[in-house]
Amino acid sequence: MKRNLTDIAVKKLKPLDKAYKTTDGGGLYILTTPTGTKTWRYDCSINGKRATLTFGEYPTLSLADARKQHEETKAQIKSGIDPRKAEQVDEHLSLPFSHYALEMMKTQELRDSTYAKKLNRMKKHLFPVLDKMPVTKITSIDLLNLIKPIAVHGKRETAQLLATYCRQTFDTLMSLQLIQINPAESISRLIPKPKQSQNFAHITSPQEFASLLIGIDNYHGDFAVKKALQLAPLVILRPHNIRFLKWRYVNFRDKLITIPAYEMKMNRDHKIPLSRQALAILEEMHQATSDKELVFISSRSKNDKEMSENTLNQAVIRIKDPITGEPLGRGTMTSHGFRHTASTLLNELKFSADAIELQLAHVNKDRIRATYNKAELMEERTEMMQKWADYLDSLKKIQNI
């Protein structure tokens, strides 16, 4: 049999946007995922049915060892032995739920941020309990008793996500023929559904927004938190992009922030023109964190870790009305609400709908695909964001009179 790969060729395989196969011959290939994981797999026919066997990850399993396992497996199949049942059952029975959950995630094309969130939810809610049980003995009742209380205590969306993760993981077990029935198949139907989604709480009154902006300017909490909140309405980025904003994304000379596609919800590079006011805030932060990777690092941060979204939301809740001294944010505004407020007011100010949608990174392919052939309306958006910043300053001045 002709073999196509060499050790050097396998070592040089680089991750791309999507997982891809590189064949060696006889159905053996190596699958390279966007995260850089390289897994040896074998496409074959067992009892007349197509199957894909996973041998292991490179470089733990070398090219030579993968070929050896490939030849041994071919011989087993030729002799009428199903390798999935013959040698792997005992090994698999000793592996925990978390092993299959991680294997399941390797087959999914997840952004780094999505992968981390999914893994953290499972580490917190699933692994501590399910890893103590024989994975092939876990029942629907076990899963319901674990997940339903999470929904009952108000985290319905989390519970539904966990039910989905369990179903996906047990699908992996079924594909390995370790179980015949997926115990998580109907769990999502047995737990309370998330309440109908609502927009993030936000202010639509210019006067109320002015009071909030003044309250942010008067905020006496953490310096980085204050500056993050001051920047939010000027760039109308998602809270995630503010929290994970890196200095290498900021170009002071061109007065521009460029966030790479892999950090954006729409998977496109996103350019944000900076007003004079936004630049001034970033210049203040530059004096404090220019030697760090992230722009906004709380003084309480350990190991220069990013601040949490809850940190920003809690800060918004603590913002006080400059006149009454009463809290402004609770029930009326969240860190994500700045985007909704900006969208509402910018439309009321009669700015171009396409420019607003591009600034918000709400790219509707059918509606404004052509705008990307016009340099993303950068000239128009630059003018809009400066006028928007000036408008916010004028609101604060009127409110202070």
Report the percent of the chain where pLDDT is more than 90. 43
Mean pLDDT of the chain: 85
* Domain identity same for 243 and 363: yes
Q: Is residue 132 part of a domain?
A: yes
Domain boundary among 57, 83, 109: 83
Q: Is residue 382 part of a domain?
A: yes
Q: What is the mean pLDDT of residues 85-99?
A: 65
- 155: tokens are 């985290």
* Greater pLDDT, 83 or 149: 149
Q: Is residue 198 part of a domain?
A: no
Q: What is the pLDDT of residue 94?
A: 61
* Domain identity same for 34 and 174: no
Whether the per-residue pLDDT at 89 is higher than 60: the answer is: no
Q: What is the pLDDT of residue 112?
A: 79
* Domain identity same for 378 and 259: yes
* Domain identity same for 357 and 387: yes
Q: What is the mean pLDDT of residues 8-15?
A: 93
Q: What is the pLDDT of residue 298?
A: 86
Range of the domain at 44: 7-83
Q: Is residue 178 part of a domain?
A: yes
* Domain identity same for 105 and 245: no
The residue behind tokens 């993030």 is: 200
* Greater pLDDT, 327 or 57: 57
* Domain identity same for 169 and 242: no
* Greater pLDDT, 101 or 91: 101
* Domain identity same for 213 and 354: yes
Q: Is residue 347 part of a domain?
A: yes
Residue 265: band (very low, low, confident or very high) from pLDDT cuts 50, 70, 90: low
* Domain identity same for 320 and 357: yes
106: which residues sit within 8 A by CB, 6+ positions away? 33, 35, 37, 39
* Domain identity same for 340 and 226: yes
Q: What is the pLDDT of residue 200?
A: 43
Residue 201: band (very low, low, confident or very high) from pLDDT cuts 50, 70, 90: very low
* Domain identity same for 376 and 274: yes
- Three-class DSSP labels, 13-59: CCCCCCCEEEEEECCEEEEECCCCCEEEEEEEEECCEEEEEEEEEEC
* Domain identity same for 176 and 300: no
* Domain identity same for 171 and 212: no
Report the percent of the chain where pLDDT is more than 70. 87
Q: What is the pLDDT of residue 354?
A: 87
Q: Is residue 90 part of a domain?
A: no
Q: What is the pLDDT of residue 78?
A: 85
Alpha helix positions (H), 153-260: 156-175, 206-217, 223-235, 239-243
Question: Tens digit of pLDDT for each residue in 317-342?
Answer: 888 777 777 666 554 455 567 788 88
Q: What is the mean pLDDT of residues 365-388?
A: 71
Q: What is the CATH number of the domain that holds 114?
A: 1.10.150.130
Q: What is the mean pLDDT of residues 63-68?
A: 93
The domain total for the chain is 3
Q: What is the mean pLDDT of residues 200-210?
A: 71
Domain boundary among 147, 162, 189: 189
